[in-house]
Amino acid sequence: MQAPPPNPGNKKQSIVTAPLSSPIGFGIVLAFISIFFTLSIVGCSSRGTGPISSKADEIAPKDEADRQLWLAEKALPGEGVEHLLLALAIYNERKEPEKSRPIIDELSNTQLTTRQYEHFAVLAASNAMQAANPDTALLYFDNAPQDAYSSAPLNLQLQAIELQADALYLTKRYLAAAQLRVFNSGLYTGESYWQNQDSVWRALKAAPSMEISKALDNAYDYSWRGWLELITAIRQNQFSLEMQLESLRDWQANWTDHDANLQLPAELAMLSELPQLRPKKLALILPLTGKLAKAGGAIRDGFLAAYYKDDNNDTIIDIFNSETYETAIDQYLELQLLGYDLVIGPLKKDDVNDLALLPQLSPPVLALNYLDDQFEAINGLYQFGLSADDEVRQILNMLERQGKQHITVIYSEGEWAYKLVENIEIWALRSGRPSILTYRVESSDNVSDGIANLLQIEASKARAKQLNKLIGKVEFEPRRREDIDAVILLTSPSRARQIKPLLAFHYAGDI
């Protein structure tokens, strides 16, 4: 675990308010630090304090990072910080956290000047972000001196802003992330200016409506209020493309001088083009009879609910039962003759595989499943599936962002579950995480006992009995094992409704 960041002076707000320009990679920061520290070293050597010994057995290491650590050891007290910072920058660039963290720990316990802390905070926060610890990254900026970054080089200020904004976003402080970027937008130039605008919009989209509403009550800055009114207008009209477009035009008329009006975020710029691109005649192919009739009916009802909610929608939707045709190819060729602009479906994987046998698809097809691996996608075929593989991948990405290390998987019997567990274990191995803890729930299991064994509740009770024998009766509450950060549950809804309360019953309700 990383040591808490040092507090070299007065605290500052996490929002950088000094002027800034376009973000750059660590390579440029490394070059800047190298030049700056080289000048510092030259200055020191002119005073006769050069650390390099002439002894034959004290030859400097060839590796540059190791050489900087060697120089730091040889330096006089208080003069080794620059070497440590340069070594840290090199290890960060190489993505070698096991070598970076000892340096961060040492610098955390060293009194740093404001200039040194500016570099340290960026490097240490970057290391924390690489380790998926955004909360730790923010602490380094929260504990910066009050005047930090007010006169720092532009590239360093921008790195600080980008790291803070990304960390705020990952900790779900979306509104704070957006505000930080808005208040510092004037420091970006060129293409990075518009990229920052897109990042502002992405953060605002993720922010809860209640927070945006409260922020509007106290938004006096012109640019910030304009952004808040823009997201509010779009969100209040999200059920109709035409209403969203109308609200966007109204906003543009009221905020003619706003930054976002000069060039809309990419997503909003596309909004004005969508009405012309919307299909006029659409075919929806679903299994409305047979084994998949229930799933097909649910998809149909969802389409129609969205369709009737939009009063301005003039698209014609025709619904076809895929089970009434011998093959998906026969059905598609018939629809081709009827002049459809878009075909949505089929749902069955075999039907999607059949369509891939055609040379190309015109009109285009938005399939509701994926092709098997042995089939290649063709022009005009778009695959949109909601497979369990996709959902598990999203879960793992979320856990990785949250820095969860110890994952437990509870799963039911079945090939589909075994495959997903295998994928999770491969992910843990590749990401350097501890081995996945698993519990397979079999049909004959007493699930409560199984969960208790998984959480080692009985072992906790056994320890309590031993204590009672040694010191007499004591008050006791069983404790679960502590090496579980998250549980992934792969099972049916009915089984899940049993397992979730049992986790809480066995003292794991906080996972």
Strand, helix or coil at 382?
Answer: strand
Report which of 142, 113, 112 is spatially closest to residue 4, judged by C-alpha positions: 142
Q: Can you tell me whether residue 374 is helix, strand or coil?
A: coil
Q: Is the pTM of this model over 0.85?
A: no
3-state class (DSSP) for residue 96: coil
Distance CA 291, CA 371 (A): 20
Torsion angle defined by CA atoms of residues 454, 460, 465 and 466, in that order, rounded to the nearest 10 degrees: 120
Given this model, what pLDDT does residue 42 score? 37
Residue-by-residue DSSP string for 422-456: HHHHHHHHHTTPPPPEEEEE-TT--HHHHHHHHTT
Alpha-carbon distance 367 to 377, whole Å? 11
Residue whose C-alpha is closest to residue 5's, from 127, 131, 137, 153? 137
Determine the Cα–Cα distance for residues 107 and 123; give it in Å rounded to an integer.
Answer: 11
pLDDT for the residue numbered 45: 37
In terms of DSSP H, where are the helices of 75-185?
Answer: 81-94, 97-108, 114-130, 134-142, 154-170, 174-183
Mean pLDDT in consecutive groups of 10 residues from the start of the chain, 511 residues: 48 40 41 43 37 52 78 76 83 80 82 87 90 90 88 91 94 93 92 93 91 90 94 84 86 92 87 78 94 92 85 84 93 92 93 93 92 88 84 86 84 88 87 83 80 74 64 64 85 85 79 81
Q: Tell me the C-alpha to C-alpha distance, in Å, between residue 304 and each of 291, 316, 320.
A: 22, 11, 14
Residue holding tokens 């009109």? 363
The angle at the Cα of 269, spanning 264 to 273, to the nearest 5 degrees, equals 160
- Structure token digits, residue 384: 């949109």
User: CA torsion sign, 350 to 352 to 354 to 357?
Assistant: negative
Distance separating alpha carbons of residues 163 and 30, to the nearest angstrom: 16
DSSP 299-348: HHHHHHHHHHH-TT---EEEEEEGGGSS-HHHHHHHHHTTT-SEEE---S
Which H/E stretch holds residue 222? helix 222-236
Rounded CA gap, 213 and 229, in Å?
Answer: 9
* Residue 41 to residues 63, 68, 85, 113, Cα–Cα distance (Å): 18, 11, 13, 16
> CA 343 to CA 319: how far, in whole Å?
10
Give the integer Cα–Cα distance in Å for 96 and 370.
38
> What is the reported pLDDT for 473?
66
Per DSSP bridges, beta strands 281-286 and 316-321 are parallel
CB 211 within 8 A of CB 204: no
**Residue type (1 letter), 128:** A
Cα maximum dimension of the chain = 92
* H or E stretch covering 149: none
Residues 6 or more apart in contact with residue 441 via CB below 8 angstroms: 410, 411, 412, 413, 447, 450, 491, 495, 499
- DSSP letter for 110, please: S
Task: Supply the pLDDT for residue 227.
Answer: 95
Q: Where does 177-301 show beta strands of DSSP type E?
A: 281-286
Q: Are 354 and 371 in contact (CB under 8 A)?
A: no
Residue 312 in contact with residue 240, Cβ under 8 Å?
Answer: yes
What are 451's two structure tokens?
């969960």
Q: Are 156 and 119 in contact (CB under 8 A)?
A: yes
